[in-house]
Structures are given as structure tokens and as C-alpha cells.
Amino acid sequence: MTNENQAVLDVQKIRKTYGRVEALREIDLRVAAGEFLTLLGASGSGKTTLLRIIAGFETPDSGRVSIRGADMTWASAAERQIGMVFQNYALFPHLTVLENVMFPLEMRRITRRAAADRARAALDSVHLGVFGDRYPRQLSGGQQQRVALARAIVFEPSLLLLDEPFSALDRRLRESMQQEVKQLQSSLGLTTIFITHDQEEALVMSDRIAVMGGGAIRQIGTPAEIYYHPNSISVATFVGESNIFEGVPKGRSFYAASGAHFSLAAPTDCNRMLIRPEAITLSRASVPADPREANVFAAQVLDRSFVGGFTVYRVRLAQGDEVSVRAIAREGAIFQPGETLQLTVAPADCRPLTDRSAA
């Protein structure tokens, strides 16, 4: 194996069952140095089990976990040099903030003075330098979060694991913490695995996303790949809003069950198709269009909801399909329920779902 394509983390054919429940079935995953990878999935999808196996808190039934090329499948958590931030932070309440951050260094037999210096530097990097003598309970949720982060990176781990670290924070704080973590991660070049069930968070932060479900990785790719080219209904509906059509493909055409006909950018044999709500345009003026460049339908507005920067409309095509549309809310371009409009979708935005399995 050459050095440059050596992954920091290499997970091979990991299986885990609890009693008769298959928590993980044959997981393969490689994470490159400096990469920010997100495991995205609902609860019960297997993402937490996978994280615990990577961290060394659980052992797989079969398969292999290597870190920097060394087999760590059976190594204890302490031997793995992994920094982890827990969902509830798991700060030690009986130790001060500084002592918390010093803990992993002391466990590595670093002298108290050197440990204290490094811990202070780590606290500085999360802007908590002055809080070293406080106890965790005296800090706000966001500050506790940063202490947990400082504690996880202070010993320069080869891998950083973040287990839904933002779920306890309110929306505004969460967004600023997301940015801060992302910045810290890229400036330190930390290889990071992030767990979340929040698709927006995953899209914002990740280099790559692995969508998990039913103990398997459903799809893995960049946020754009996952968003624009989901391979299945489950991935499509989990990441972003979607309009799903079932029907029959025919070359570069797709005939929905209702009879609506769509032109596609490329021939397909998939019998499901996805259109993102923001890919659809509504207009009052009827513009004649080339069906190879645009799919045009007559549609009636059923209802609308104003969501800040954009408006979500529910419309019904003349053929009967109900479609949700997301349009930028420009004053004067707001449509009333009951209005009949022209609906346009580019063929390139009609995306066949390659996964043939049932949702």
C-alpha cells in the first residue's frame, strides 16, 4: 500500500449483531487524512454502533478496523489514539475545566507542567483560555461543548469522533459551533468522523457523507452527490425535500403513473424519479418551450406557506400529481391558492433513482 492513498481509518467488512438484531451488516468505509466524513442516519440506522466499534467501546463480530494501517480491531479504546466528543459531552463534573483537558495527557504520562501548558493552549484554541479554573457546571452548554472539543484534540489524536455533539444546543448556537468546529478541523487538518441525524448539518459540514440505514451504508459521496444524485428513495427523502414520481421509463422519456410525461437528460431504465422542489419554476406567463429543453405543465396552486427567504407551494398538475415547489419569495411574484400557473422543470433536474429496491 502506498503512502499517499493510505487511509487514516480503514473499516473492512464489519458485522455486528445483538442477539438476533443485525446492527451492522458488512460495513466498508475508508476515511482519508484530513477528511471530514459524516455518518448520517436516523436512530437505529447503525451509525452509533459503527462509531462505538471505531472508538473501541464495542468489538465487531467479524471484520477489521485499521487506523493508519495498523490493525486495531481488538485494541482497547485507550490504545487507539482517538479523540471523541460525546453527545452529552461527558465532562468530568468533579474536575475543573483545565483538569478535564489535562486528563488525556496525564493518561499518557506527560508531566503535569507540560500537560497544563498544552491543555491551556487547547483551551485557547477554543477561546476558553480564561475558564480553566471553573467547573463544567459553571459553563454554558456551548462552552461545555468547546471544553469537550479541547479535551478530544489536546493529545493530537489521529482521528476525531463527534457523536451528535450539537444536538443539545439551540439553533443559533448550533450554527456558530458548526462553523467553529469546521474551521478548527480544517486548520488542524484533523481527520474527523461526525455522527448526526440532521441532514442540514451534514450537508453544511462534510467533505463526504455516508448515509446509513438498516445497518448498512446506503450511499456515500460528497454533499452535492448525495443531494443531487441520491441513489434511492430513502436517501432522497432523508436528505432534502423531494418529489418522487413512479412510472415507466422509455429511452429519454419518463411516463408517470398519472400520465404526465417528462423528458430526461439521458436515457434510463429506472422506474422512480426525483425532482427537488427548488428545481421547479412557476410562472403566470405561458411561455412556449421546446420539450427537449424544458418540461412544461399546467398546475393549480393548492396552498402555500411562507418560510422566510422562500415560499413553499403545493400545486396539482393537470394530470393529477401533487408536487411541492420551493420558490424564492420575491414580492409581486406571490401566487394565490386557486391560480392556474405554468410549471417548468429542466430535463436535467429530473433525476432517476438508480436503486431498484423498495423504499
Tell me how far CA of residue 250 lies from CA of 127, 247, 268, 290, 291, in angstroms: 59, 10, 7, 19, 15
CB of 121 to another protein, least distance (A): 17
Closest C-alpha to 217, from 52, 30, 83: 30
Smallest separation, CB 75 to another protein (Å): 5
Nearer to another protein, 135 or 228 (CB): 135
Residue with cell 412544461: 296
C-beta of 81 vs 281, nearer to another protein: 81
Cell of 102: 489535562
CB 299 to another protein: min, Å:
50
- Residue 34, sorted as left (phi over 0), alpha (psi -120 to 50) or beta, turns out to be left
Residue closer to another protein (CB basis): 76 or 305? 76
SS3 for 174?
A: helix
Query: 277, 215, 284, 158: which is closest to 41 by C-alpha?
Result: 215
> Residue 244: CB partners within 8 Å, gap ≥ 6?
233, 236, 237, 272, 273, 274, 353
Residue type, 188: L
Complex with another protein: residue 90 or 298, whichever CB lies closer: 90
What's the min distance (Å) between Cβ of 89 and another protein?
A: 9
Least gap, CB of 176 to another protein (angstroms): 24
Q: How far is the CB of 54 from another protein (least distance, A)?
A: 11
Comparing CB distances to another protein, the nearer of 94 and 171 is: 94
Instruction: Select 104 or 352, whichever has its Cβ closest to another protein.
Output: 104
Give the residue with the Cβ less far from another protein, 78 or 130: 78
State the nearest-atom distance from the C-beta of 34 to another protein, in Å.
21
Q: Which is nearer to another protein, 151 or 304 (CB)?
A: 151
Sign of the alpha-carbon torsion through 106, 109, 111, 115: negative
Give the torsion through C-alpha atoms of 8, 14, 18, 22, to 10 deg. Answer: 120
Closest CA relative to residue 163, chosen from 59, 64, 82? 82
Least separation in angstroms between residue 55's CB and another protein is 6
In the complex, which residues of this chain contact another protein (CB under 8 A)?
Answer: 55-57, 59, 74-79, 82-84, 86, 88, 90, 92-94, 103-104, 107-108, 135, 137, 151-152, 155
**Which residues lie across from 15 on neighbouring strands?**
62
CB atoms within 10 A of CB 20: 5
